[in-house]
Structures are given as C-alpha cells and as structure tokens.
Amino acid sequence: MKQQSDFGIDYPIKRETAPQNFLKLFYPFHYSVGMAVEKHLSGSDLTRHQTVILWIIHSKGEDGHTIHRKTIERLIGEWYELGSPAISKVLRAMAEKDLNLISIRESKASAREKVIRLTKKGQTTVNEMMQRTEAFIKLISNELTDEEIANGMEFMSRVGAIVEGGFAGRKDQI
C-alpha cells in the first residue's frame, strides 16, 4: 500500500482524512487539470468568456443550442465575476459578423428577455471544441486503467451531483 502520493495524499485513504486529502488535490485538479482542459476547449481563437458561454449553451441549453440570456448570466456568474454589461459585451461580440457564433433574439414570452442560439458556425465551433478536448482527455485516460477511469468518473459524478444539489452550501452541516 502506498504511503504518500506526489500531492501529499495520506494513505491508506479513509473517510476521516478525506477532507484534508481532497484539499491537497484541489489545486492540481482545479487549476492544473481544469485550466488545461479549458485551454483545449478554447483553442487558439476563443477567449475564456466566449468558451464558457459556448459550453453553457452546449451543456445547459435546450437541445444544446438555445438558452435564455438570464441563464447564461446566472451560470457564468458562478465561474467569473462578470456583471450584466460585461456579459452583454461578450455576447454582442460573439454575434457580430466576424465571429458569428450566436444569434440574439427577443424572447416570445418577453421583449425584455433575450434568447441566445448557436449559429451553424457556433455549432461547428462547439463540435471542434469537443473533438479537440476529447483528444486531449484521451491522452490522459491512456495513462489510466479501466478501473481508475471508472472509479474516477463515479467519484466526480457523485461529488458534482452533491454540490449542484446544494448540499455543499449548507452551513448547518459545518
């Protein structure tokens, strides 16, 4: 059995030491891995904000291509400290002829609400983002066993579900 990893994880891994071990992995996973994945998603043409907006549309939008502007504003606010004017500026740039990644239309329900939709070029860009990043992740997964991949995916899935379900924000548990 291992005694300690490159990141200072204490072995054997136990529930009692999980919080400390998790924090030891936070920086390498969130910043090193997360930023590398984000870099591959962005490629050479997209800014970080454009990448996140395309990802939000793809992952949270209706059929992966249509979403309300307010939803983008709420979700991007969880990643970056961007206000409404800054988000509008990024969206307008993404809709301009130069990029032509999205269209911005008034909602049928309210003229004040905007609906953002990927253009054909936007959908192609998202597909390229996915292919480029999947190739990068494949390089990583080639270094892992099938069991490590399965266990890691199950762990990340469960942690994501717990956090997105609001549990992690409950102060009464601390």
pLDDT (tens digit per residue) in 82-100: 888 899 999 999 999 999 9
Q: Looking at the structure, tell me whether residues 21 and 56 fall in a common domain.
A: no
In which domain, by residue range, is 7 found?
1-42
Number of domains within the chain: 2
Cα–Cα distance, 97 to 78 (Å, whole number): 29
Q: Looking at the structure, tell me whether residues 28 and 87 fall in a common domain.
A: no
For residue 55, tell me if it sits in a domain: yes
Q: Looking at the structure, tell me whether residues 125 and 113 fall in a common domain.
A: yes
Q: What is the largest CA-CA distance in the chain?
A: 63
pLDDT (tens digit per residue) in 133-157: 999 999 999 999 999 999 999 999 9
pLDDT (tens digit per residue) in 31-61: 899 899 999 999 999 999 999 999 999 999 9
